[in-house]
Amino acid sequence: MNLVLAAAFYFSLVAGGLLPFTETEPIYVVAKSVSLIFFLCVVTSVLKRRSFAIPALTFLGIAVPLLLWSALRSSDYTYALQKFDAIAFGTVGAAALFYRLRERVGVASAFDKLLLVALAVLLATLGYKLAYGFWDRSIRFFLNGPIVFGWLMGSMCLIALHRLITTGAPRYFLAAMVFFAATVWPMSKGAIVALLASMAMLAVLNLRRSAFSRIALLMAPLLLLAALLFSSGSVLPLNDTRLAAFSRILTNEIDKSDEGSIVTRLDMLDQTAELIRKNYALGVGLANWQTASGSQFEYPHNVYAELAAEFGLPIAVLLLLALATMFGRVPNQTRVLALFFLIASGFSGDASYLRFPLAFILASWRLNWSAHETPAAHHRARHQRLRHFGQAGISDFGGTRHG
């Protein structure tokens, strides 16, 4: 059952919402339907926990009115509803499933089961891509496109490194390498940059804890070098050399091959800046970026620019400040995962991708129990400590606090 719950959480991130009628692709209709069923199975249980109910309901209380207000000004209600569903309900649905999993088995075991699910998905993706086009990015990576696949594999690499640091078990090092290779495979530069930066943060946060963190810190530039060699064809004769753009950026030798990944994104940022300048107070409305900018693309591939353009600059700044504040209320491993997704959001994806960092943040809100302790065990231990303190207060100090 716990492994099934881990799979439900993974697929809820893939689905990006709980409303099947917002989708037209069969795979997402099925994914959202499954996510909705599992969410309904756990929602009653998780809402009994204040550590989940308070942040989740507060988030919905803020997100739903803002999204609704912005969606009412949209010219594309289908896309607006999809984004509404992903940001509001997709976030809370995924967070509820992961919170319930952690409540049942503890943090460490929850991460282990999530790694097993991700490994199974990776194996299925390998089989799918071998059959339909291993290096062709235009062919989906089984459940998702290349961007989301790279994001999910990168987050699994960080989880494996976290487990490596806390346990020292070699199997997690192997898992981290497998998931790192899977992150490089789609050749999505944003996911790779975010992963390397997050690995460095993970190492710094654990410098005093384990020598493995030092290994991870030294490993980051070596992995980047390996990725550059891999993409340039020095190791394998690949037709797609997207990652070679790293070296061209560093040497200021951008050419026509970078038209799509770099030049086009810079053009979209220029268009977004113009939209923000003209609509800085209220924005252009949810899912209206394409219409307002006249671009052939649906979104600017920069979540922060998209928020400012569609919601207005004041609201975007407040939302980002609120997101930054949340970092102080979650454990270090959640901060690293959130940082990974937030950095990647600056390179690709739309606002619906905010469900990735927000789901982990809401599921980990105000946690202060150890990695091997379940929430229920934490509450029991806290109650016992309070009882012991009360007895000590009477026997050792001669009375109650009022006496």
Q: Residue-wise over 148-172: b if at least 16 C-beta within 10 A, else e?
A: bbbbbbbbbbbbbbbbbbbeeeeeb
Q: How far apart are CA 204 and CA 216, in angstroms?
A: 10
Contact (Cβ atoms closer than 8 angstroms) between residue 313 and residue 276: yes
Predicted local confidence at residue 307, as pLDDT: 95
Cα angle 310, 315, 317; round to 5:
105
Q: In this model, does residue 230 exceed pLDDT 80?
A: no
Q: How far apart are CA 283 and CA 305, in angstroms?
A: 11
Q: In this model, does residue 82 exceed pLDDT 80?
A: yes
Cα angle 9, 372, 192; round to 5:
50
The two tokens of residue 27 are 């795979």
Residues 6+ apart with CB under 8 A from 105: 2, 113, 374
More confident residue, 104 or 234: 104
Predicted local confidence at residue 27, as pLDDT: 85
Q: In this model, does residue 92 exceed pLDDT 80?
A: yes
Q: Which of 291, 363, 310 is nearest to 333 (CA)?
A: 363
In DSSP terms, which residues pair with 388 in a beta bridge? Answer: none
Please name the residue that has the structure tokens 């319930």. Answer: 100
The two tokens of residue 236 are 């394998």
What are the φ/ψ torsions at residue 141 (nearest 5 degrees)? -90, 65
Residue 392's pLDDT band (cuts 50, 70, 90): very low
Q: How far apart are CA 390 and CA 393, in angstroms?
A: 5
Q: How far is CA 169 from CA 108, 118, 163, in A?
A: 13, 19, 8
How crowded is the C-beta side of 13, counted as CA atoms within 13 Å?
26
Q: How far apart are CA 59 and CA 167, in angstroms?
A: 34
Residue 371's pLDDT band (cuts 50, 70, 90): very low
Q: In this model, does residue 260 exceed pLDDT 80?
A: no
Q: In this predicted structure, which of 8-12, 129-133, 300-304, 329-333 has the lowest mean pLDDT?
A: 329-333
The mean pLDDT of the chain is 83
Residue 252's pLDDT band (cuts 50, 70, 90): low
The whole model's pTM is what? Answer: 0.85
Contact (Cβ atoms closer than 8 angstroms) between residue 82 and residue 323: no
Residue 381's pLDDT band (cuts 50, 70, 90): low
Predicted local confidence at residue 259, as pLDDT: 52
Q: How far apart are CA 40 and CA 288, in angstroms?
A: 32
Helix, strand, or coil here: 361? helix
Contact (Cβ atoms closer than 8 angstroms) between residue 125 and residue 143: yes
Q: Which of 103, 204, 114, 109 is nearest to 157 (CA)?
A: 114
Q: In this model, does residue 37 exceed pLDDT 70?
A: yes
Q: In this predicted structure, which of 60-69, 90-99, 221-230, 284-293 has the lowest mean pLDDT?
A: 221-230
